[in-house]
Structure 1
Amino acid sequence: MSEVDAVKDLDTVRLIGLLLERRFSKQVSDVWHIGLNLALRISDLLSIRFEDISDDRLIIREGKTGKTANIQLNPKAISIINRIQQEYPNHEYIFQSYRNRQSINRAPHPISRRYVSRAFAEVGQELKLNLGTHSMRKTRGYHLYQNTKDIGRVMKMLRHSSEGVTLRYIGITQEDVDKDFVELEI
């Protein structure tokens, strides 16, 4: 699996959502938008059930770490989730598979991470970006760091235990740190 990047330009973030909807589906675009707002790993994101949400909070146990993620949903995420629930009131999962014949005769399950990965990679190729499912999480972390310069907050949001891991993860390089020193004169 190749390394993917955070999307550092907000216009590109919006463009990716549009291209995912045009080239693939509204559902894949919704994965992108909700993924940006929740900063979860793709396996956890796709496994969200409507019952995991109470009022404006999502509470799930992360598959990789076993840690509990207790996330306050922002208005954009709530709006998208409510729209999906209204369109598909019988669905169990937010991103439930329903389009192929196999889904009709099986127990409810989410869309596959392979499908989402392929969609993201194709749009990334079109935009000449290393785009993958982890890009959503990295992008959220990167923009939170740019807005706050508080690595502790980013670590907590991503549920990381090391500053170095978090900085590398969100794509903050020595060049970025050097630029901050040059641009900020006191």
Structure 2
Amino acid sequence: MTGANHIDYDRASNIGRRLIKTGENKNFGLLVISSINLGLRISDLLPLSFDQLKCDKFEIIEKKTGKKRQLKVNDHIRDALTFYEDDLTYKMGGSAFTSQKGSTFSPQQVNRLLKKYLKGNFSSHSLRKSFGRRVWENDNQSERALIYLSQIYNHASAQVTRTYLGIQQEELDDIYMRL
């Protein structure tokens, strides 16, 4: 597999929660939690507002495809948001993913912070892959999950999704280990 690796979902979730709870980097922690639970490209994640994340469901127009996508906010994101209830930006529904300087994170900042907190070959795309791996693992590594993910990711086929998530290479590697 080339490119960024996926991050173990639980590891990413734990780091995100720690950054929020300790206040070390709350907004980046929320970005991690939101990303692994929404599966968005970084270009679609960064513009999200607190108003959108406070809703049960919201719609976006994907920047890359121009397609409309409906997203559901799950309990992991809602739990993370409880740490923001006294935050003025939260109350006013402002941008959710701002740096300590007040500007929205750039993809480059996100990549630097991922390398800082997770130490490895990770990028913002790793978070999107973590979402996919979690969906696939939670559905017993089923072909059905790959079909759903290919729809979510707008991939041409489940095979493209399998390759994207690095599943095919792992299965090929296992062939050698079973000898």
Identity among equivalent positions (%) equals: 27
Contact 2:12 2:32 in 1 (8 A): no
Aligned counterparts, 1:106-185, within 5 A: 110-125=104-119, 129-148=120-139, 149=142, 150=144, 151-176=146-171
Aligned counterparts, 1:50-61, within 5 A: 50-52=50-52, 55-61=55-61
Q: Secondary structure of the equivalent of 1:173? A: helix
Q: TM-score, normalised by structure 2?
A: 0.77
Q: Does 1:12 align with 2:11?
A: yes
Q: Does 1:77 align with 2:77?
A: yes
Structure 2: distance between partners of 1:175 and 1:162: 19
Q: Does 1:38 align with 2:38?
A: yes
Contact 1:49 1:93 in 2 (8 A): yes
**Shift, 1:147, TM fit:** 2.0
**Shift, 1:50, TM fit:** 3.7
Q: Secondary structure of the equivalent of 2:78? A: helix
Structure 2: distance between partners of 1:138 and 1:60: 19
Shifted more, 58-67 versus 74-83: the winner is 74-83
Contact 1:24 1:119 in 2 (8 A): no
Contact 1:43 1:63 in 2 (8 A): yes
Aligned residues: 169
Shifted more, 37-46 versus 149-158: the winner is 149-158
Q: Which runs of 5+ in 1 are unaligned?
A: 104-108
Q: Secondary structure of the equivalent of 2:71? A: strand
Aligned structure 1 segments of 4 or more residues deviating by more than 3 angstroms:
18-24, 50-55, 81-86, 177-180
**Shift, 1:173, TM fit:** 2.2
Indicate the residue corresponding to 2:97 in structure 1: 95
String of CA shifts for 1:41-81, please: whole Å, max 9, x gaps. Answer: 11111111244457300211111111112011111213334
Structure 2: distance between partners of 1:18 and 1:81: 10
Contact 2:17 2:80 in 1 (8 A): no
Contact 2:115 2:122 in 1 (8 A): yes
The code of the aligned residue for 1:65 comes to T
String of CA shifts for 1:94-117, please: whole Å, max 9, x gaps. Answer: 2234x32xx5xxxxx522222111
Structure 2: distance between partners of 1:33 and 1:179: 31
From the superposition, tell whether residues 175 and 38 of structure 1 become closer, same or farther in structure 2 (CA, over 3 Å): closer
